[in-house]
Amino acid sequence: MQPHTTDPFDERPSKTALKKQAHDLQRLGEALSELPDDRLAAVPMPESLLEALRETRRIRSHEGRRRHLQYVGKLMRQTDVEPLREAVAAAQLGTAQNTLELHRLEQWRLELVNDDEALTRWMAEWPETDLQHLRSLIRAARKDAALPPEQRHGKAWRELFQFIKSQFNQPRPDAPHEQF
């Protein structure tokens, strides 16, 4: 039997793996191009890559955009992509947190309008709230909700939401984890 020799070509990534890496870099480049300019400028990257990402936003043609993203992927092969991935992840996490906050505010509004006990729970969590103002907003939102859909204008509903949001944004020394 002959001894097994290691072929240097066996250690290279397959063509499929290389294509997958290229597509991953293109998707990362597309996600980066959607970040706001201030966030994009804060990420450490070569100037040529930054300009290419900004250029991606201006391209409207589908085929032109696809080819330009290939170019962005090529530029990214020469760059440390971990800070770029972290920037995209941080932006996505921020969006998820904002969505969670909006759902929580919406839940409070629904509870306040639909359940009198919710006002008691609200006052237990936010005792500094202007109770009279909150009650008037709840009454107006309830009246608005009772109208037929074609007569609703939603002003009271929006005002109640804004009031709840303002309470959430105030600093609370007793429960700092509740702030948004």
CATH of the domain at 37: 1.10.60.30
69-86: pLDDT as tens digits: 899 888 888 888 888 888
Say whether both 129 and 156 belong to one domain.
Answer: yes
Q: Does a structural domain hold residue 35? A: yes
Say whether both 105 and 169 belong to one domain.
Answer: yes
93-113: pLDDT as tens digits: 777 788 888 899 899 989 999
State residue 136's pLDDT score: 93
Q: Does a structural domain hold residue 118? A: yes
State residue 144's pLDDT score: 84
State residue 5's pLDDT score: 56
Q: What pTM, to 2 d.p., does this model score?
A: 0.51
State residue 135's pLDDT score: 92
Tell me: pLDDT of 177 over 70: no
Say whether both 121 and 174 belong to one domain.
Answer: yes
Greater confidence (109 vs 174) lies with 109
Say whether both 125 and 59 belong to one domain.
Answer: no
Instruction: Count the domains in the chain.
Output: 2
Please list, in sequence order, all residues whose beta carbon lies within 8 angstroms of the beta carbon of residue 23, skipping any fewer than 6 positions away. 73
Say whether both 70 and 42 belong to one domain.
Answer: yes
State residue 138's pLDDT score: 92
Map tokens 């921020």 to a residue.
94
122-146: pLDDT as tens digits: 999 888 889 899 999 999 988 888 8
Closest by CA to 71, choosing from 48, 95, 94, is 48
Owning domain of residue 22: 15-80
